[in-house]
Structure formats: structure tokens, C-alpha cells
Chain A
Amino acid sequence: DTGVSQNPRHKITKRGQNVTFRCDPISEHNRLYWYRQTLGQGPEFLTYFQNEAQLEKSRLLSDRFSAERPKGSFSTLEIQRTEQGDSAMYLCASSLGSGSSYNEQFFGPGTRLTVL
């Protein structure tokens, strides 16, 4: 399988705990994105990396959220001191960066987070 993979697929945690999600992009893709999707809504952009550099962060990404892509391959998204409002599907996507204006993004299956 050469698509985007995410682990875990499901995570249930108690309020106040920290959680970390992992995303492995398509191997030749140098751009990696994180989105969050709540029930009944479309995905909302959180942040993106080109190689190991984090180039844009949404205002949705509070101080409790941190994302890394240390070697320009896989990425992790950590949420500290989780709140019930963090419950959502966290989606990772990757794209092949190029000079074109429409780098198509391919999504992973997502990590469903439930904060009790």
C-alpha cells in the first residue's frame, strides 16, 4: 500500500491527557498537511510542512497543539491537555511539491479522537 497512512485509527482518551498521532505520507511527497474534521463539517486546515519545515499554521492550532516532521518524512501531531472540544477526525494529507499551482493532496484514513 503506497497511500498515506495514519496511526492510530482511533483514540479514546480522558480530558487532560496528552495524545500523539502519526502520519506517514506517500514516499515521494515532500509536502505534508494536517486537517481537522468535526461531525457534519468539511476538513479545516491546521498546518503544513515542506520537507521538515513547518511553513504555515492555522489560528485553530492553539498552544496545546504541536506538529513535527523531523526528517522530512513522517509527521506527528501532539495535543497536550486534551479537551472535549478536541474530539474530531484528524486527517493527514500529502502532495508532491512542484512549480504548479495545484498540488493535489491525497488524504490518509484519519485518526478519530474521542475525549471523554
Chain B
Amino acid sequence: DAKTTQPPSMDCAEGRAANLPCNHSTISGNEYVYWYRQIHSQGPQYIIHGLKNNETNEMASLIITEDRKSSTLILPHATLRDTAVYYCIVRVKTSSNTGKLIFGQGTTLQVKP
């Protein structure tokens, strides 16, 4: 699976949009971009995933560049409860492989009042 690069930490003001970048310059054509987050002392939580089109759900939006070498997770109105480590992961989404997730160091997002 392709390696991802994320900034180690970011701050965001409560109520503002949080934009978390991820570089995945070696991504293959059949690899999806996944985002998970881990709030302190909890297990990781799935947020969103996409292949090449932008995606939106009730939690966040995912913007993937046209060349697919980078993406941005957007939390439109960050709250204090969004303070967590955010992981960007790329992997093949098929039933023929294990589907294991390879986590990097992630970005620690601190939402401040």
C-alpha cells in the first residue's frame, strides 16, 4: 500500500473549518483514500473514503486532487470534540486482500475555543 505524508499537528478555532492535508504521491490507480480519526483513549473511527471524486457525508468532506497525489479532509465546523489524531490511509478496496489498514503517524488536530 502507498505511503502517506501528513503534518504532525494542526490547530483550528472552534466553529471554523479544519482542513487536513495528506500527500500520497505514489498512490496506484486502484487504491482508495481513507480517513480515520482516533480520539484520546478510544479506538480509531472511520470518517470517509474516496477513489477520485470528491465525497461528502455527515461528518466531513474529502477533496482529492485530479492527479490523486494528494487529498484534503475538511471538517466544516470544527468542535472541541473533533480534537483527535487524524489518519490518512490508502489501500486497495477489494475482498480478495486482507484489507488491513496501514496507519502512519497521523495529524494531531487541536480544536481551540
Whether A associates with B in a native complex is no
Question: B residues engaging A (CB < 8 A)?
Answer: none
Interface residues of A (CB under 8 A from B): none
